[in-house]
Amino acid sequence: MNPIVEALPQRPIMRDEIDELTDSESIDAVFPVFGERSESRQMAFVLVVATGETLHGIGLDEGGWSLVDTATIEAVADMEKDPDEDSVFSNDMQAVQDMQQYVVDSIDKED
């Protein structure tokens, strides 16, 4: 099993817990997808976790958290990093958004 998935609690991640995930030295950034209903807007059901040049698409369903897919992001050595992010280049945000949508779609198909 994926070590990131193993470390997650078997429930949605609350909005105020997201920053704690990046305390790990192996996690560079976390891009959550929160629920759309008023009662779930503070809960993340999808996480895209960046570790180095890898994006991990992780989703929560009835069976718990699972790794849905991984992808490599293009890290171009001579490009400047986004000042708000330590490891994900601003041009890689499309890959993050694509992964978020893929995981959401994958979880929705299982319902």
Q: Is the CB of residue 27 less than 8 Å from the CB of residue 49?
A: yes
d(CA 97, CA 101): 6
Given a cut of 50, is residue 107 above it in pLDDT? yes
Distance of CA 100 to the CA centre of its chain: 7
Tens digit of each residue's pLDDT (9 = 90 or more) over 27-55: 889 999 999 888 889 999 999 999 888 99
d(CA 107, CA 64): 11
Six token digits for residue 36: 């759309």
C-alpha dihedral (83, 86, 90, 96), degrees to nearest 10? -150
DSSP bridge pairs for 67: 58
d(CA 38, CA 83): 32
Residue spans of the domains in the chain: they are: 3-110
pTM (predicted TM-score): 0.81
Reported as a pLDDT band with limits 50, 70 and 90, residue 11 is: very high
